[in-house]
Structure 1
């Protein structure tokens, strides 16, 4: 295995300083396996993915690599440096207010026309041509005569690299969160390889995130080819791994998650050796059943329900404290939900406005077969 390091400029600060990201490429002696792209820290406070990349690189020193792996830690230098006191604010582009992870391009290639032009190619040829078209669509947007926003420029540079890979992993964390995986419905069986207890099963619908930007075009191609009597399968696999809570580095936990990634890479033939998945219970929920709970009124919140712990209908979710109403029934409100669920993440602060998204919970949860 050969390792090389480079950097890529993804923008400029107002004073002219270049914004650059590090890129590590691990290359096999003989490239016979799928190619992989892994990025971390697109949101400034979500730093644990960098530790996972570090631990994965250390683990890979002991395995025989069959496919090329591109690793991009610290993928958003502007977001990482959005500090306010002890807190990192880098979830949203400070210029536009857009979520950094909703800036990717929906490469909506006009499939009937494109497929008619390329249908004569064999499967490998049509996959390569489609991959080139996706990369070219990003490059064309980057060179737009009218210019593009800071966030869109960053996203397109990352997406151009991701489109060159067969497997795309985007490493994130939540505010206060348990580990969970975003997994496309066509590959829900992959969840058994990652060391993650909860999986959100997502449809073929583009919402702006990296995983969707990577897999949705290929899912569309697969479905269109099937309508023309051709079974192409879905050539690219893409997942978002939510690795617990933000503003946290835990190297031992990072090694555990890196081993889960290594297990999936083993399953896919990226490394020569067999690595068995961790023995653990895994549960799923369709994205349509992933519910948000918003604060019914402002106040100070005690988050009673633990993330990753099943919660029965009627059991306490939060206690809401209103000292301006001391001496009345409004001073302390116990809030519960009307359905069984698993709380996955909650807001980081105990001080909330009315309407704040307090929790995200999985409902209609089902066991995933291993």
Structure 2
């Protein structure tokens, strides 16, 4: 039986001096030969289902033939998790700066072309090792900034250091009210067939501050740069964000399904010896640029009508909008539809909204994943 080692890392301090720590669990086989794995959950305070998935993964990893180091970090953001207002967990934004906790990761500011020129004589293995060390050193420099860094930046950088040590990275999230979906980089699109998730957002090589981008973007850029110099390099790191349905929810049966999906991928990558078969299902995808947001045209009370994860035709209502202050006028109650066929993926949690509230996110220009065109080289 495999038993994980456990330790804690310090990710900040409260005003009264208490240290904020997060638990780290690591499975380490005697002779690791497969790609290393890092999995974190609950960076946003209300998004707790990822902890249940990590729990189920750990239980199963204890009884597998493990070929790789696997590091797991549940409860990754103690500040967000403990940010309560009445019965609700807030914890999506740093209350000090207002910045999304998942937009604080570090975009390494070194000249990758200059770095490659200096290191291109290395063989692939040594080149990858040197590049990984450069990313880790860059994170350490951020932590040691003599001017200091924000609370959110410190948390993100500590997590990023753990992630940069792995070859496969999962960041587990949920939506407000959501169906399951995942973010997958274009170069790793074949990976999506292993997870128990029906909707896939195909990501370009652009960094916008999120954990998955912080993990894969540097390696993708390295591969693209090498190709311009006539050298074929694999993208050495795969990173995914899995959105495990809705926030403020623990469902252990559902956690087992998603843990098995992750294990199916880890089985495919040789992390575990056991063969885990992916769930057979249709998987639909769209380019990230075609993942659209719909904002409230006015304030009011919203009835969310469009079922999540089901095709919505142009003539079907997305939502209804109730305006009690407009009673007796044409604006008192109205249905709102979109002018394009789509699949609603998530919606805002509250029925009472301000004008401009992000109400729905929908996939447009959707295609079956098995019909995804091959990448152009």
TM-score band (shorter)? over 0.9
2:50 counterpart residue number? 49
1:369 is paired with a residue whose SS is helix
Aligned length: 370
1:127 counterpart residue number? 128
2:375 counterpart residue number? none
Residues 292-320 of structure 1: CA deviation (Å, up to 9, x unaligned): 00000000000000111110112100000
1:261 counterpart residue number? 262
Structure 2 unpaired stretches of 5+: 372-377
How far apart are the structure 1 equivalents of 2:151 and 2:267? 37
2:93 counterpart residue number? 92
Q: Is 1:301–1:319's contact at 8 Å kept on the other side of the alignment? A: yes
How far apart are the structure 2 equivalents of 1:147 and 1:61? 40
Matches within 5 A, 1:138-217: 138-217=139-218
How far apart are the structure 2 equivalents of 1:139 and 1:80? 25
1:330 counterpart residue number? 331
1:72 counterpart residue number? 73
Q: Is 2:301–2:321's contact at 8 Å kept on the other side of the alignment? A: yes
Q: Is 1:42–1:74's contact at 8 Å kept on the other side of the alignment? A: yes
1:145 is paired with a residue whose SS is coil
How far apart are the structure 1 equivalents of 2:110 and 2:146? 21
How far apart are the structure 1 equivalents of 2:46 and 2:337? 29
Q: Is 1:24–2:25 an aligned residue pair?
A: yes
How far apart are the structure 2 equivalents of 1:29 and 1:308? 43
1:251 counterpart residue number? 252
Q: Is 1:37–1:161's contact at 8 Å kept on the other side of the alignment? A: yes
How far apart are the structure 1 equivalents of 2:226 and 2:325? 62
Residues 209-255 of structure 1: CA deviation (Å, up to 9, x unaligned): 00000000000000001111111110000000000000000000001
Residues 315-368 of structure 1: CA deviation (Å, up to 9, x unaligned): 100000011111221110100000100000000000000110000000000001
Query: Offset of 1:62 from its aligned partner?
Result: 2.3
How far apart are the structure 1 equivalents of 2:216 and 2:109? 12
Q: Is 1:346–1:358's contact at 8 Å kept on the other side of the alignment? A: yes
Query: Offset of 1:2 from its aligned partner?
Result: 4.1
Following TM superposition, the consecutive aligned residue runs of length 4 or more in structure 1 with deviations greater than 4 angstroms are: none
Q: Is 2:3–2:62's contact at 8 Å kept on the other side of the alignment? A: no
1:305 counterpart residue number? 306
2:374 counterpart residue number? none
Q: Is 1:285–2:263 an aligned residue pair?
A: no
Q: Is 2:206–2:213's contact at 8 Å kept on the other side of the alignment? A: yes
Q: Is 1:173–1:245's contact at 8 Å kept on the other side of the alignment? A: yes
Query: Offset of 1:60 from its aligned partner?
Result: 1.4
CA RMSD between the two structures: 0.8
2:242 counterpart residue number? 241
Residues 180-222 of structure 1: CA deviation (Å, up to 9, x unaligned): 0100000111000000000000000000000000000000000
Structure 1 unpaired stretches of 5+: none
2:4 is paired with a residue whose SS is strand
Q: Is 2:292–2:361's contact at 8 Å kept on the other side of the alignment? A: yes
Query: Offset of 1:172 from its aligned partner?
Result: 0.2
Q: Is 1:7–2:4 an aligned residue pair?
A: no
